[in-house]
Amino acid sequence: MQLMVNSQHIRLLRCVFAGILLVNSLFFFRLNAQDIYLSHFDAAPQYLNPSLAGQYFGERNDFRVNGNFSGQSFGSFSNQYTTMALGYDFPVNKFGVGYFVINSRAGEGHYNILNLLVSGSYEISVDRRYRHNLLTGVQFGLMNHSFNQEKLFFANQYNPATGGFDASQASGENFNTTSLMMFDAGLGALYDFRDRRKPFNPFLGFSIFHATNPRLSFYDADYFYPLRFTIYSGIGINLSEFFQLSPRFLIIHQGKKQNMDAGVFSFYRIPYTKYEMITGLLVNSNDNITVHGGIKINNAQYRLSYGFNSFIEQQITTSRNMIELSVVFSKPSNVKASF
């Protein structure tokens, strides 16, 4: 019986703690706003850069599908953050079209971020051998932020007589709404050089998201969602016909926040088989280290990663652990031989 009471108290404490965090997060959102983070950023091409929608750098594919799942836990309160994403894109001559949805849910209050996006790209390269690839793209869609107030307890709902929280009492929080729908847009460009006969294959991309500056406020305040600037770059180093190393980095600047990933990936194609082994290591500017491992079988790529903090945080949370899975599948075109 004592164990059950303690469990209930722990549950209540977690709810009120989440409520306090949510209010603080909403109040200070203008200082801390950041989009959903994916460590498998290259496995969600439309989320990385809209110019990548439907562009396969000379590979003849009818379409591409990508799926992502990320699960994170923060600190001893076991606040769970889960993210799921699904993308579909296809080429139309020099154009590319893509559809992308990403949803993230956080904590006891089920704070939810949903993006529904449509991307369009255009290849302006003149290299028929697809060695020099210059791409541009735009993106439009809807963004929804919401939370479930009924899942939370606030300080005003604490009842000292019972030592618990009373959901029938007023919370004292004056939210105008608990769900916001906004129009969103972005754009990007990317240069990519690909020739496995050459030792170095560099690439560089730049993108801007939330170009419409959508208004985001659950209170009576005018706050506009900050632009997200992304730079993605790296180089493929072809050490042999079967083995490539690829140092790469990602810089994200949004509002007053800046995040940088830097690391190296290796791709080893087992000779005379359909298998390619993938390994990688990323170090994040927030002191997060992510270890990647995966395999590519014909036109399907599977990758799993585990991320962990390299230090003890100074604030409420004590650690951050993240498991992420991505799958990318491309369907080759059925090109008939001409005689």
pLDDT tens string for the chain (339 positions)? 443 445 455 454 454 444 444 444 444 344 345 788 899 999 999 999 999 999 998 788 999 999 999 998 755 444 578 999 999 999 998 999 999 999 998 766 678 899 999 999 999 876 777 788 899 999 999 999 887 766 665 556 556 666 555 556 655 566 667 788 899 999 999 999 988 788 999 999 999 999 998 887 766 677 788 999 999 999 999 999 999 999 999 999 998 889 999 999 999 999 999 999 999 999 998 888 999 999 999 999 999 999 988 654 444 445 568 899 999 999 998 744 333
For the CA atoms of 171, 172, 173, 174, the dihedral, rounded to the nearest 10 degrees, stands at: 130
DSSP conformation class of 197: T
Q: How many CB atoms are located within 10 Å of the residue 313 CB?
A: 14
Tokens of 40: 């498998």
DSSP conformation class of 41: G
Residue with tokens 């009471």: 5
* Separation of alpha carbons 139 and 47, rounded Å: 10
In angstroms, the Cα distances linking 123 to 50, 100, 186, 216, 231 are 12, 20, 17, 34, 19
Q: What is the pTM of this model?
A: 0.80
* Separation of alpha carbons 164 and 160, rounded Å: 7
- CA angle in degrees (0–180, nearest 5) for 226-102-36: 40
The correct answer on CATH 3.40.50.2300 for the domain covering 2-331 is: no
**Which sequence spans correspond to the domains of the chain?**
2-331
* Separation of alpha carbons 241 and 238, rounded Å: 7
CB 120 within 8 A of CB 137: yes
